[in-house]
Chains A and B, each alone.
Chain A
Amino acid sequence: MVIDEQIVKDCIAGKRQAQRLLFDTFAPPMLGVCMRYCRDRDEAEDILQEAFIKVFQNIHSFRGEGSLAGWIKRVIVNHAINYINKRNKIARHEKIDEIRETEILDMNENVEFPDEYNPALLLKLIQELPAGYRTVFNLHIFEDYGHKEIAEALGISENTSKTQLFKARRWLKNKIEENRQKKNLK
């Protein structure tokens, strides 16, 4: 991912070749990000396309203080969140379960998984998650968002965010266990 300053300047000037180069460089990892937020590849490519339009329209506001990849990823994630919010995929009035945070931490720390899981299978499991669980899980695990930030981004309460994360983890753990058992039976 070597994108020099000149290419960024050319992108700001609207030169298509530079935009193409930027797209070719960053689209594969960013499509990986989009795939985690969507149910299928088509939806992910739609988000990628619209997000890259935003990237090209707002690239003048990239001040070069951080990495360009990080800035693009933030745009992609924000667009994915907006996209999901627009589609009302988040259950905003989730019933708040009485879950203590220690339980969440305990669940994460007490379960161990072997290394040999197929990444494609794990991605499929994430895509099968209910939209609310999936978004919170992605933001927390992959983007390092805290519950407060997730709550602000999705317009939900912090407790809802914690609940969704807990349920996402439990759902994923069960699915992994199921898969492991099926594999052992074979």
Chain B
Amino acid sequence: MSQSSNSNSGPGKNLDDLFRESIGKQEFTPSPGVWKSLNWKLLFKELIHFNFINVPKLALVSVSGGILVIASLTYWALQPAGKSLLPAGPVTQSQSVARPVTIQNQVGVASSEPLTLNEKQTINPPAREVKPVQPVSVPVKRNLTSGALIASNVKTGNSPSPSEPSPVPDPAFIKHESESTNKVPPSIIDLLDPLEFSNFDLSSAPDTISFIRSGEVFTYVHEKMPLPSFFSCNLGVAPEMALYNSNGATTTEFNYWVNAGIAYHYSRFSIRTGLGLGYTYDEGVYKMQYRSNDSVSFYKEVIGYYPDPVNPSKIIYITRNHAIYDSVTHIADDRTRNRYTYLQIPLLLGYNLFETSKFCLGFEVGPAVSFLISEKKAEPSIDIPNGRLIKLEDSSPSRLPTNWQLWVRLTIGYQFTKHWGLEINPYYKYFLTSPVQSTETGKPSTQAFGIDLGIQYHFGRKSIKK
């Protein structure tokens, strides 16, 4: 280091000492903005590395609360007139379709419109003898097609008998029906006499129900719907723990992924692909060789002597130790943390073991390929006081540009609206080809466990109303 030129003879100081002693240990308090700015920079760096450990709790709570509020609002906003879009029971693969029927010049058309009744409306059964002034299209209540509902109507027995004369319709009601075109007319089911549903034609085809009401035939055909098939896309993040086994030693690293994918669902089966971008980490190993001047021994310098007062024939020497320095070569190693960016493309085949309108549980299996797109190696810390670096060798295992994996993952989905849902997919990856190059000592094996958390959107998924 520096040649000592700091003789301080006399009452004053030389220039170097003056500065060294006056301002060598000077301290200044940084302005408060320094830490604030530093804090933001650190937070930003953590966020772009998917590390959320220092995100303020208030921000986490706010974001979580915001997501819940938005999800709730979306859920309620998408419900027509207070009815849920989602069926309560399991999805069935057949639906009933009402055919248009002709009833006394009135054409009943199946409609999915919900039926509402004005509180002031009174429902009077129409009389067959009285023809309406003009034909009125009356939507048939969708539930009319259900055999269960028909049966329930049969059980209801508080209506007048078919033999009894039908009351004359109230002209006010007819007028009301004709004029109030904006209002939904009452369902025909409400106008029918339940007791007249008793005549079923059991000779029809199994998917057809016919019944006769007052001499007119109503036919309802149950059509089998095609198996549900739709596309879905998803976006999520996946923290992952990777285990690197090499020479019996296992090292663990945490990786982070952002995944986006698209899937095609056919019945309970699905096929999924997508893109994932993520950071993986491992340990960099550097071997350093440096030379430093170290004390290797010492010698004693005689700086005085005197005769032993007890035994004057002996002489006692006063000595001082002097260290002997020599340049010594050292070998050390330094561990760093390297970061690699990968792009992964999976191809997964899935099967839903269990599914309801809101939940589904299944699994997906398939291969995935990862491409190394960038690597960032940390510089080794060369902390050699009084030494000189001779050689620096990077012994980190080199990464291969591509690797193949086999994925197995459990898929758990929760559908909170018709289209939107959450998914939680714990997974396991087995690396068919190692991400790092084989070394002389053996081929390293790698496995990873993780959990993929995200949202999914279903395109054109059919929902069944109650």
Contacts and interface: CB of A to CB of B under 8 A. Distances in A.
B27 A28 contact: yes
B35 interface: yes
A9 interface: no
Contacts of B37: 49
Given A63-B383, A144-B1, A113 B14 contact: yes
Interface in A52-102: 52-53, 56-58, 60-63, 65-66, 71, 74
B28 A113 contact: no
B383 A31 contact: no
A14 B34 contact: no
Given A52-B38, A61-B334, A109-B14, A14 B26 contact: no
A28 B381 contact: no
A63 B19 CA distance: 32
B54 A14 contact: yes
A146 B38 contact: no
Interface of B: 1-3, 5-7, 9-16, 18-20, 22-31, 34-35, 37-39, 41-42, 45-46, 51, 53-54, 334-337, 378, 380-381, 383, 385
Contacts of B38: 23, 49, 52-53
A44 to B, nearest CB: 8
Given A141-B20, A144-B1, A35 B15 contact: no
11 contacts: A16-B54, A19-B42, A28-B27, A28-B29, A31-B27, A32-B28, A45-B30, A61-B334, A66-B383, A142-B19, A144-B1
Q: Considering residues B13, B23, B334, B383, which has the most beta carbons from chain A within 10 angstroms of its beta carbon?
A: B23
Contacts of A14: 46, 51, 53-54
A134 B19 CA distance: 12
B30 A28 contact: yes
A173 B381 CA distance: 38
Contact of A65 (B20, B53, B383): B383
Task: Please tell me the size bucket of the interface on A.
Answer: 35 or more
B26 A119 contact: yes
A112 B41 contact: no
Nearest to A42: B31
Contacts of B385: 66
Contact of B1 (A24, A117, A145): A145
A182 B22 CA distance: 21
A41 B20 CA distance: 20
Given A14-B46, A53-B41, A113-B14, A36 B3 contact: no
Q: What 8 pairs between A and B have smallest CB-CB spacing?
A: A61-B381, A112-B12, A28-B27, A32-B26, A31-B28, A144-B1, A119-B22, A16-B54
Contacts of A173: 15
Contacts of B2: 140, 144-146
A183 to B, nearest CB: 15
A108 B7 CA distance: 9
Interface of A: 13-16, 19-20, 23-24, 27-29, 31-32, 35-36, 41, 44-45, 48-49, 52-53, 56-58, 60-63, 65-66, 71, 74, 104-105, 107-109, 111-115, 117, 119, 122-123, 126, 140-142, 144-146, 149, 169, 172-173, 176
Given A27-B35, A32-B23, 6 more contacts: A28-B30, A32-B28, A62-B383, A112-B11, A113-B15, A114-B13
A118 B156 CA distance: 106
B51 A71 contact: no
Contacts of A60: 337
B12 A29 contact: no
Contacts of A123: 23, 26
Nearest to B21: A115
A24 B38 CA distance: 12
Contact of A32 (B25, B46, B51, B381): B25
B31 A45 contact: yes
Contacts of A109: 5, 7, 14
A30 to B, nearest CB: 9
Q: Considering residues B6, B25, B336, B381, which has the most beta carbons from chain A within 10 angstroms of its beta carbon?
A: B381
Given A16-B42, A49-B37, A141-B20, A108 B30 contact: no
Contacts of A111: 14-15
A122 B1 CA distance: 24
Contacts of A107: 15
A53 B9 CA distance: 43
A146 B15 contact: no
Contacts of A45: 30-31, 34
A142 B281 CA distance: 39
Contacts of A57: 45
A114 to B, nearest CB: 5
B31 A112 contact: no
A58 B382 CA distance: 12
A63 B335 CA distance: 10
Contact of A27 (B34, B42, B378): B34
Contacts of B26: 32, 35, 119, 123
A31 B30 CA distance: 7
A122 B19 CA distance: 7
A56 B12 CA distance: 42
Given A122-B23, A144-B2, A20 B383 contact: no
A172 B35 contact: no
A162 B201 CA distance: 114
B13 A29 contact: no
A41 B22 CA distance: 18
A28 B28 contact: yes
A19 B34 CA distance: 13
